[in-house]
Amino acid sequence: MLTEWRRAGADVECLGFLGWSLPSLFMGLRRWRRKWTDQLAGVISWSTWRFPVVAAALADSATPWVVHAGNPASESLAARLKLKFFEAVVSAPRQLSVAACSTQVAESFRNQPYYRRRPIHVVPNPIPLPLASAHRCTAPDRGDGPRLGMVARLDPIKDHATVLRAMPAILRRHPSATLEFAGDGRLRTMLERLSADLGITRQVRFLGEVRDIPALLDRWDLFVYATTEREGFGNALAEALMAGLPCVVTELPVMREVCGDHAAVFFGAGDPSALASKVDDLLADEGRRMALGRQAHIWAEEHFGSKMIAECYWRLLERTKTGPIAGDAK
């Protein structure tokens, strides 16, 4: 997205405040704001991370500000009380909008008193185009068996356990199949134990954190994305779609929003048998896998391409400058 803005002639500055303490963040943003007073077309905060502190630092600025929300707003009592406190003591910029990555995330913010009085729009996460135009679909009997993979944090928001429970049925039809999990998290020990209990430790690999995700996607035959209702978007899934990798995905409204109706195959949430059946159908039909991969790439380029998302943000900043608007920015 930065590349697209710069190609259009915009000057873009990225601020590295992630590791700063709250006081340092506040003071750093104040200094930065004074430096660029009346010279900025807009400010984008790429998350609601420390939102009230950022709001306080930019409170007297007339520059339009868009906050990107990549995850649902927390429903915890502690989070609500903290926001209520900040709402009472901290002013927010006059020209402020929230850009949620999905309709589900937008609705979670509309349920928060702190955010609901501000314009809330839907703008998907941008996904970079792969170096190759599409995934190279290959036959699963090439010698080392079909390779399934999932990229996601090993935490309760996702549903790795259903993928593991589907593997015994998949292995009965495809004994040489392997499953790889890229990502780490607090559920790793539990998932490794479940893998052992199911007797599939030789066919399942926990890769931990992986830097070169595009290379990983290129060597898989199918991308499996099992998740829960707490999912906000699924960047890894969007990256797999963009790479043209055939995807088997949990049937949830937010996943339909990310994949559309025809760019992925869906299975019932938490249903290992349904997942195994969908995987088996795709592995048995190379033509269908190739067609699904092509459709996935086309869909992702149309909906998550950085050029399109950059244009969405530019329009949103312009609208924020002129005041609240009705409806969502798609």
By the 10 Å C-beta count (0-12 exposed, 13-18 middle, 19+ buried), 114 is classed as buried
Residue-by-residue pLDDT tens, the chain, 330 positions: 677 667 766 777 777 777 788 888 888 888 887 777 667 777 887 767 677 777 778 777 777 888 888 888 888 888 888 778 777 776 666 677 888 989 989 998 888 887 877 889 898 888 876 655 455 555 554 567 899 999 999 999 999 999 999 999 999 999 999 999 999 999 999 999 999 999 999 999 999 999 999 999 999 999 999 999 989 899 999 999 999 999 999 999 999 999 999 999 999 999 999 999 999 999 999 999 999 999 999 999 888 887 788 888 888 888 776 554 333 333
Sequence ranges of the domains in the chain: 2-125+306-322, 147-304
- pLDDT for position 325: 35
CA proximity to 214, closest of 180, 239, 183, 184: 239
Q: In what order do the strands lie in the sheet with 222-225?
A: 204-208, 178-182, 147-151, 222-225, 247-250, 265-267
CA dist., res. 316 & res. 322, Å (int): 10
- pLDDT for position 328: 38
- pLDDT for position 170: 97
Residues in CB range of 196: below 8 A, 6 or more apart: none
CA proximity to 255, closest of 327, 328, 152: 152
Residues in CB range of 219: below 8 A, 6 or more apart: 147
Q: Please check whether residue 223 is in contact with residue 270, taking contact to mean a CB–CB distance below 8 angstroms.
A: no
CA proximity to 318, closest of 41, 87, 2, 26: 41
CATH H superfamily, domain 147-304: Glycogen Phosphorylase B; (3.40.50.2000)
Residue by residue, DSSP assigns 48-112 as: -TTHHHHHHHTTT--S-EEEEE-SPPP--HHHHHHHHHHHHH----SSEEEEESSHHHHHHHHTS
3-state secondary structure of 149: strand
Other CB atoms within 10 Å distance of the CB of residue 98: 27
CA dist., res. 321 & res. 42, Å (int): 9
- pLDDT for position 80: 80
Other CB atoms within 10 Å distance of the CB of residue 230: 16
Q: Please check whether residue 168 is in contact with residue 200, taking contact to mean a CB–CB distance below 8 angstroms.
A: yes
CA dist., res. 143 & res. 21, Å (int): 53
CA dist., res. 238 & res. 296, Å (int): 9
